Structure 1
Amino acid sequence: MSEEQLNFDFFAELSEPVPEPAPVKENVDGADEISVEPAALSEAAAKAESSPETERGVTPFVLRQAVLGYLAGQQPTAVGIRVPTRVKKFQVSMAACWIAPQSKQNHIEKVVAIDIFDRREHCLPDCAEREELLATLKTLKLEKLKLEKVIRENEPELKDSDDLFEEFQSYDYSASRNTAYHKLLKQISRLQHVIYKGSRMELIRQAAVADYLYLAVPAGELAPEELADGWGLLHVFPDRQVKVVKVASRQQCNEEGRRHLALNIAATSLKSVLFANGVAVDEHLRVSFQPPPRRRRKRL
């Protein structure tokens, strides 16, 4: 496992490699006619929590521990587990915020939300012909990468002049004159609407409370081309190494949305603080005290 898998900043923009795509055989112009069943949001989250050992040897606990360790390496100000987004029903597995001083008050720089799933079927929407649609989406997105490579070669003026390093260069593809590219974007948009409409991923995105959205799954469980646009992807290995497979795009999130999720992060941390200090509060608000948990010493 390379060192960059531990130290990579998953807020940085990344130029993705351009693999050779398979030819596009399916026409998705009528994709919006396909029926989609509503996603079972809370059931999917519950399955991920209750599932024991995965086929790849990464348990839900190992996933959560690895992602939490990875977040800690990014030096967040606060981290919460099972953090509600807009309403309690839609909780993300983990969320973190970065706070910095600004004038005489603290300022929330960014907030990231991460949903963690141990199986592919738990994190994808439950719609008709899901695998066939995802295969088509993957092919279209690979074709999109190929066309973006052509645009970079034929329209160098679209390159962002503010880029300091060649490996982190970005382009304004929306201003391209390539008609095939814009037609392909419409196909991808229609197909993604069919697949993700009403899904957990889409509802969390629509909450607009986080700057960056990520899915974390066992390595190889999900391909980056199968994700809805904007979401990033983390692959977790059995040895708890985490690799950024796809960098998330920055979402449209205002200060009010950031503050909302940051406050929810603080609220979800209460139980951990009480437990770490040996304080328990029952449903009748009766307070009891007990010895704080001790870290087990390793036997030599």
Structure 2
Amino acid sequence: MNCAVEGLDLEARGVSFSPPRGPKLIADISLRIAAGERLAIVGPNGAGKTTLLRCLFRGARPSEGSVLLGGEDIWSIPQREFARKVAVVLQESPATFPFSVRDIVMMGRIPWRRGMSRWSEEDRAKVHHALEHLGLESLAERQFSTLSGGEKQRVLVARALAQEPRLLILDEPSNHLDIRHQLDILHLLEGLGVTVIATLHDINLAAGFASRAAILNGGRLTAFGPPETVLTETAIAGAFGVEAEKFRIGAEGAARFAFSRSSYSGAFL
């Protein structure tokens, strides 16, 4: 899906954010991902992952620094153009929407709609394609509010795909999903060809999904780069305060981690 859509590179330059009269939630974060790469952001609760995402999709203006999308400052891009380039899937689920699943996914086509014109055949085809890829055809006429948490999550991902973005930002896309649908969605995201940024709690999912990984801890970027060099036993111990053991399933298998509780309390190395 979206095979004709190419990703955009994204760069954060010294991004910090603090609410009015509040503490600094993230500080001096700099990273760059090339067009079509997949970035997994991991870190403990309260590390600043969601705050960073908000700065990347204009949900919050950085207190310091800037974010560039395709070389342009995101705050200089007209709103409609930005909505055609960037789609966002957040953890919060709008459970009170009085709309069907098909209606929700159709909302992803709003940035491409001209005035108050009717939905085009192209719009309907894009929505059908998104529903099909997320296995939601049988739920298309159901009320969104009647769905389970996992079903709602899949609908919101489908809405983002129908938007045909060049950058897709997701906050815990595997949240509420069973193992099969976690793997299905991440596999789908891998094949889109667009740039993807996702926060993930599951280190093993992050290691298998990402072409770039970032660790946030205490509002700071403590590691960034290829997952095989970022997601190490020492780095995970420092960020999460657990013992981590890395292993592989088979000679050519992807890296996996096993965890146990730890008394580790030192600063990140």
- What is the TM-score with the length of structure 2 in the denominator? 0.29
Q: Which structure shows the bigger proportion of residues in helix conformation?
A: 1
Q: Which structure shows the bigger proportion of residues in strand conformation?
A: 2
- What is the TM-score with the length of structure 1 in the denominator? 0.27
Q: Who wins on radius of gyration, i.e. which is larger?
A: 1
